[in-house]
Structures are given as structure tokens and as C-alpha cells.
Structure 1
């Protein structure tokens, strides 16, 4: 008699000692998991696996930047790509829905899903199928693609950009000093997250406050690194936020006021942020910009940043219907 195939088991990790089980599938952030668990950025109950017998066929995990808070981001979602479709998609959807119901607080809002992907993923058939298989599952759960982004890196040994002398830089004086510039920068922004905030009904000021409070207020590196760029007569042109997150030195945000766009000032502002971090002796500086933000991407390229990776973000809209069906299945 042929033995019955094993049933699918979907469950969270029982503790950090099951990290080896979770890592039977792989992703570029695996090396961060142990430290994330130790610091509270992840919890075993936020890390789930789908098992066929003792074979891990899918896994999922959420992350938070601050221990003791609810999940902020879904950043691990991996499938065993040896599974054929539609079984692979069905397994992934069951894991996603079961784990989400158990992990996420009640309510309509869900943390967005973000994934790092190869820079040439569209040209590589294998990489493309890996990316699109995960997207299909997310879409079946009601998510939509918000943005694809370039991930960029300035590396030690690259020439540190010189000050052109066109602008004068001063430290940010405080929250209001920065918000007064962040709000007008929202006008005509090419940033998908900023555009989504405005489309949701937030004013430019409210969107700026949200970004500041969710991102900048929790940075632990010195606020003295933050710079406002001005013309020699004191008229503000833009700003840059050099910082370090839990993992890397980074350009957290950069903006040029609408009245001063089109004059190449973005290069001067980015150069100042790069100089601030380079002076700390860092090995690399990370940054990201939306694929559609061509002027910003070209500025990074001119200043010696290389595109080493891409990423995509998917979001669940409150009014986006869910049909629970994997497209093509």
C-alpha cells in the first residue's frame, strides 16, 4: 500500500532554538535573525513555518525596529520553489493567512510586505519566477504592489564628494525646524510612500509628521548629523538626514524644496550627507530610492553610489477585496 502523503502543518517556532529549522529555506537577511531575536526585533511567535512531514515548504516572519511594539513589517516570506504550482501558491497562502490571523493585532491595517530582490531579476527567468511567485500569493490575499526601489551603496575607497560651495549647511535645530521643510517637499514628490500618504487624505504637514514620528524620532545616532541646506543669504533649499539604523549607516531621507528643484542642488545636499557619514570612518553607506525617481537615482550614481540590489513593497488597502485565489491556479 502506498503511504498517504504527509499533511501540511502550519505553526510558529517554539523558541529561538528552532532557528535552524526556520533557516532550512534561505533569504539574504538570514544572518540578522539571531541578533534580531536577541534584541527583541523579532519574536519566535512571529516566525512561522509550513511543514510537510519534516520538510519546510514555506516560512514567514515579521519585524519591528523597536522591541516591545507590534510588528512593523513583513519581511520574510519564502516558498520551497521545488513545489509545483498550484500547490506552492496554496501552501504559501495558507501560511500567510494563518500566521497573519495569529500574529497581527485586530483591525484593518496590516504591516506592508517588503522583499530584497536581485537588480536584474526581470532578465533572469529563475529569479523572476521566485519574485513573482511571492507576489502572486500576496495578491491573492488582497495586497498590491506599491513600489519597486533601487538599493544603493557608497563604499569606502570611493572618492568623498567635495563641497561645491554653492550652499551653506547647518545642523537641524529641532523637530519643527525640519517639519517646516518636510511639508513643502511633499509637493510634487516622486516617493511612492509619500504619494500614498497624500492620497489617503493626509495633508502635506500630516504626512511629514507621520514620517518624522515613525522614522526619524527613533534614530539613535546624533541629530547633529542632520543638515539643512541654505543659499548664502539664508534661504532654505533642502535637507538631508544621515544616520545609522540597526544595521547600516544610511541616508535616511533627502529633500529639495520645489522652488529650488532643477538646479542640481540635490547633488550638493546628498554630498553633504555622504561627507557627514564618511567622516565617521564607515565602510559603507546605504540608501534607497524609488525606481521611478530618476533624478534622485542619477544623483546617487553621479556621487559614486552603486545599485547593488532592488526591493519591492506591497500593501493591503482597507477596501481591497480578497478572493483567496492564486492567479493562474
Structure 2
């Protein structure tokens, strides 16, 4: 790698970043130009690896305006033309050099298409980036899947449960305190980085534009058994929070939350879930959700 040059971008070099062929064009994500325009991407947080003026690796850390946290690695692409192993070595050098300038390693959210493991050409790209991340001192912490519901019939309720709006913030907070671990959290990473909020423990501190009456409570008789925070006040309609006190209400609470958003005019609803929650993944799919992407999470060792 004697002829490899690794450096940050300077203002006005956006075209240099985009000159590299996108190895995952099927992945829906914000463009670099839009990120620069919105203030989330910055030249000093964007690094490239060059060979004879050709970009063979690029990395862009994202920090939304007004954020209280640190930037996270959002875009990381490598040229696999020479060989996967060589590309991973370039990527590791790129990350290590950038980490030194950024004050140390940062979290990396490796965005990948849905079912990426089943597609050999996509898997090779993913494995090269992941190998580079490991060589640079990052450790895999898990995978989160983003789902999307885009219309279609919802499962019919069984009649066993009833649903109503939350009475007020106090009722929501009381239920959140009883729910050990929500099964759906959408945008948890952004809430933590932007506002320092733990979406699982204090969702209303992040969902400030969502009135308490928009939250949905599932009941078995008079006893609350589930809580959902569907919101259309974020960047797109989503189920930001869904927690259970009775696992059997999951499917019906999902359907109720989607129906609440669709009734307000939503044409698409997204939801994020940890990949290891196999039952939740299956229930989302039964409710009509489809996988649209995965994010494998890497953190400093």
C-alpha cells in the first residue's frame, strides 16, 4: 500500500466522494450530496483512500445538526476489484487513520440490503467491510432489521384484546417502567446520538411531537398488556416503540398501531427490530411488513 493516500475531504470535493462506484446500489440510503446539504455530513468527517487519484475506499461519519453525541460511521465503501483481502486491508488503514484524527474509534452502522447473506455478490461486499472494521478495532454487537408496511390487509383481531388511546403521559411512563425490554424500537440510535435519550426507557423525551393520545394501549379486560408508540411526526410514519406485558398480544398490537397510522393518512410505516427476536420478526411479516434493510452494529472494543 506504498502508493495509498488517505486523507479527509476538503470543502467542494463532494464529487470526489461520489466518483467511486457504489458497491451496493440497491440499498436505499441518503446520498452524500443530500447529507452535506442537510449538515449531517461534513468534509472533516469524510475520509477517502486514493490510489493514483482514484478513490478505492471512502468513509463518511454522520452527525446531525444539534446532536449532543459523537458522529457515527454511516457510509463505508471499498473497491473490491483487486481482491477482497487487499480491499479489507485498505479499509482498515482508512479507518485507523480517520479514527486517530477523530479522537478514537466511533460506532459503525453497516447498512446492508435485506437478506444480504443470501446474495453472494452482496455478501462479499459486506464481508470485506466487516473484516476492515474488525482489523480497525471494532467489535460486532448485533444486527437490526428495518421493516416496512406499505398497505394491504391487516390480520383480523381475535376479540381477546381491546385497544384504546393512552390517557396521558403519566400512564405511558408508568407502563414503560413496567416493560423490561421493548421488542420494537425504531430510531433508537438516532435518539441516543442526537439527544442523548434512551428510547427504551424514556421514549416521550424523544417523541416530543407525538401527543399522548396517539399512543396505543392494549388491554386484556381492564388490565394493560401492551404499549405502542406509533408516530407520524418523525421523518416518516413509524412504530417508534412497542413493548409487551403479555407476549400473546404482539400481533394484534402491531396491527392496531399500523391501523392508527394508516387511518391518519400514512401510506408506509417502518419498524426496527433486533434480528435475534425471531418471533417478533415472524409477527411483523405476518402483519404485512417486508424487510427493506439490515444494519450490523460495530462499536469500539
TM over 0.5: yes
- In the alignment, what sits opposite 2:3? 7
- In the alignment, what sits opposite 1:39? 38
Instruction: Tell me the distance in 2 between the aligned counterparts of 1:30 and 1:191.
Output: 21
> 1:56-99: per-residue Cα shift (whole Å, max 9, x none)?
11111122344354434321111111132543122111111111
- In the alignment, what sits opposite 1:256? 244
Q: Is the 8 A contact 2:183 2:273 kept in 1?
A: no
> 1:200-221: per-residue Cα shift (whole Å, max 9, x none)?
xxxxxxxxx7335786533464
Q: Is the 8 A contact 2:210 2:233 kept in 1?
A: no
Q: Is the 8 A contact 2:184 2:239 kept in 1?
A: no
- Alignment match of 1:283 (pick from 262, 267, 271): 267
Q: Is the 8 A contact 1:168 1:232 kept in 2?
A: no
- In the alignment, what sits opposite 1:210? 198
- Alignment match of 1:293 (pick from 267, 277, 280): 277
Comparing 116-125 and 235-244, the one that deviates more: 116-125
User: Structure 2: any 5+ residue segments left out of the alignment?
Assistant: 186-196
Q: Label 1:265 to 1:191 Cα distance change in 2 as closer, same or farther (>3 A).
A: closer
- In the alignment, what sits opposite 2:98? 99
* Structure 1 position 142, deviation (Å): 2.3
> 1:34-69: per-residue Cα shift (whole Å, max 9, x none)?
333223222221111111122111111122344354
Q: Is the 8 A contact 2:163 2:256 kept in 1?
A: no
Q: Label 1:314 to 1:89 Cα distance change in 2 as closer, same or farther (>3 A).
A: same
- In the alignment, what sits opposite 2:217? 228
- In the alignment, what sits opposite 1:238? 226
How well do the aligned residues superpose, as a CA RMSD in angstroms?
Answer: 3.0
* Structure 1 position 6, deviation (Å): 7.6
User: Structure 1: any 5+ residue segments left out of the alignment?
Assistant: 193-208, 318-329
Instruction: Tell me the distance in 1 between the aligned counterparts of 2:287 and 2:28.
Output: 27
* Structure 1 position 266, deviation (Å): 0.8
Q: Label 1:219 to 1:40 Cα distance change in 2 as closer, same or farther (>3 A).
A: farther
Please give the residue correspondences for 1:1-329 in structure 2 after superposition, counting only pairs within 5 Å. 7-15=3-11, 17-25=12-20, 26=22, 27=24, 28=27, 31-104=30-103, 111-156=106-151, 158-160=152-154, 165=159, 166-171=161-166, 173-174=168-169, 177-186=171-180, 210-211=198-199, 217-219=205-207, 221-223=209-211, 224-233=213-222, 235-244=223-232, 247-257=235-245, 260-261=246-247, 264-317=248-301
Q: Label 1:266 to 1:68 Cα distance change in 2 as closer, same or farther (>3 A).
A: closer
Q: Label 1:18 to 1:57 Cα distance change in 2 as closer, same or farther (>3 A).
A: same
